[in-house]
Amino acid sequence: MNRFQQEVDATVDALLLQQVILYPTDTVWGLGCDAEAPPAVQALYKLKGRPEGQPSIILVADFAMLQRYATQVPDELEGLIDEQARPTTYILPASRAVAPGLVAPDGTVGLRVVKDEFCFKVVRRLGHGLVSTSANKAGEPTPGGYADIDPAIVHGADHVVNWRQDDATRVAPSRIVRLGAGGQLEVVRE
């Protein structure tokens, strides 16, 4: 078994144990856990120091998984996801499958179909959405890479992924698109 697959397996094992992971995403390094495990979500927020009411996004493997976590999905969204050139998070009405701490006060959830190979394999194998929030304490700047992550975050995570830690590529946070009141998709952050 190669190192990549070993990291995927070890990460999924940690997630199945409801642990908090520190991992590379398709945007920035993130803290994550199983999106359907409320105790893991609480542990993640405690480590991050994030107050309730400030939910994180959920990474999903495909359009079908996205539909599991949203109660209203526009018909055109599947085609938009297939065509998107950069990571895009969609804010949609949350379903009951989402851990309560991930639902915004307005009843929505942020969902992103992940294209990054590592994240995709982890999410696909886990079979659930993967929480993703930047790997920093609440209110602190988002770290540009693994080397910039606060040691308290690194030591506080139950599992630190040993993949792409030396990657110096700086990637911007995702684009954000919200489902508006009229059922139209509106860009919130380009």
- Can you give the three-state secondary structure of the chain, one letter per residue? CCHHHHHHHHHHHHHHCCCCEEEECCCCEEEECECCCHHHHHHHHHHHCCCCCCCCEEEECCHHHHHHCECCCCCCHHHHHHHCCCCEEEEEEECCCCCHHHCCCCCEEEEEECCCHHHHHHHHHHCCCEEEEECCCCCCCCCCCHHHCCHHHHHHCCEECCCCCCCCCCCCCCEEEEECCCCCEEEEEC
Instruction: Return per-residue pLDDT of the chain as tens, 190 residues.
Output: 799 999 999 999 999 999 999 999 988 899 999 999 999 999 999 999 988 778 899 999 999 999 999 999 998 899 989 888 889 999 999 999 999 899 999 999 999 999 899 999 999 999 999 999 999 999 999 988 899 999 999 999 999 999 988 886 666 778 888 988 888 888 888 8
**pTM of structure:** 0.94
CATH topology of domain 3-189: DHBP synthase (3.90.870)
Per-residue pLDDT, 149: 95
Per-residue pLDDT, 181: 80
**Phi–psi pair at 60, nearest 5 degrees:** -125, 160
- Which residues make beta-bridge pairs with 189? 176
Per-residue pLDDT, 66: 97
- Which residues make beta-bridge pairs with 73? none
Per-residue pLDDT, 26: 87
Per-residue pLDDT, 170: 62
Per-residue pLDDT, 175: 84
Provide the residue ranges of all domains of the chain, joining segments of one domain with +. Answer: 3-189
Per-residue pLDDT, 169: 67
Per-residue pLDDT, 85: 84
